[in-house]
């Protein structure tokens, strides 16, 4: 059985199989298209999740909060992204461990998880919620396995120590002290993460409008 996607093993995980690496690479390349497809389906099927308006209002507020939180985490992490894309030989690249990377190893995917949960919740469809869960648990688990195997080969003992101390997705509120990396507001804006977050919020507003015109189950 694979470890939980948010698990925190005491040692560096074994090298994933070629199949897992292949699946992770495929999902990594298609993750944005898949995200947009799921968002489109969520908008199309949007309807109240329950027949109780008070509960639906609370779930809708939660959906907005999840998307805002996820967008904030992703924007924060993207401010360090220039370091991960720095040109030069493999041996000259730095492992970023500052900012959100000092709390979790995969803050971008944590942000994606929160945004996905908000969109799925706003859809009001149990099937959409299940599909999002399956895609994230299966697809993103494979992506993370693939990325971790690459980082271990690239940074070796430096990454092994970081891996052993910093959680994969769920913050343990222990801060990694050997931090490397600098936040850049310009980089964050070039990556357009705040704009993408605004787009998801607009999508939630549209879903809210469509739900108001559709009957409760």
What are 194-215's pLDDT values in tens digits? Answer: 999 999 999 999 999 999 998 8
Alpha-carbon gap, residue 186 to 183, rounded angstroms: 9
Predicted pLDDT of residue 34:
92
DSSP 102: G
DSSP 105: S
Q: Report the predicted TM-score, pTM, of the whole model to 2 decimal places.
A: 0.86
Predicted pLDDT of residue 85:
43
- Cα-Cα-Cα-Cα torsion 141, 180, 150, 146, nearest 10 degrees, comes to 10
Predicted pLDDT of residue 100:
94
Name the 3-class secondary structure at 175. Answer: coil
Q: Which long-range contacts (CB under 8 A, 24 or more apart) does 187-195 make?
A: 187/78, 187/79, 187/80, 187/81, 187/82, 188/75, 188/76, 188/78, 188/79, 188/81, 191/78, 191/81, 193/71, 193/74, 193/75, 193/78, 194/71, 194/75
Give percent above pLDDT 70 in the chain.
88
Q: Give domain limits for the chain.
A: 18-212
Mean pLDDT, rounded, for 9-15: 51
Within 13 A of 110's CA, how many CA atoms are on the CB side? 22
What pLDDT, in 10s, does the model give residues 117-134? Answer: 999 999 999 999 999 999
Residue 179: which pLDDT band, with cuts at 50, 70 and 90? confident
């Amino acid at each position: 059985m694979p470890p939980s996607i948010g698990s925190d093993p005491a040692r560096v995980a074994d090298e994933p199989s070629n199949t897992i690496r292949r699946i992770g690479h495929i999902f990594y390349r298609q993750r944005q298209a898949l995200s947009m497809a799921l968002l489109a389906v969520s908008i199309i099927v949007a309807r109240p999740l329950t027949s109780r308006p008070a509960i639906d209002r609370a779930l809708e507020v939660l959906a907005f909060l999840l998307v805002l939180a996820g967008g904030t985490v992703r924007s924060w992490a993207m401010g360090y992204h220039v370091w991960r894309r720095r040109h030069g030989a493999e041996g000259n690249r730095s492992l970023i461990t500052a900012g959100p990377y000092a709390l979790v190893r995969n803050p971008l995917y944590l942000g994606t998880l929160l945004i996905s949960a908000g969109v799925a919740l706003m859809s009001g469809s149990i099937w959409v919620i299940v599909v999002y869960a399956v895609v994230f648990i299966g697809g993103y688990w494979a992506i993370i396995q693939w990325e971790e195997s690459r980082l271990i080969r690239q940074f070796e003992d430096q990454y092994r120590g970081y891996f052993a101390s910093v959680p994969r997705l769920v913050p343990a509120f222990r801060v990694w002290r050997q931090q490397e990396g600098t936040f850049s507001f310009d980089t964050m804006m070039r990556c357009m993460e705040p704009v993408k977050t605004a787009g998801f919020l607009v999508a939630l507003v549209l879903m809210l409008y469509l739900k108001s015109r559709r009957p409760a189950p």
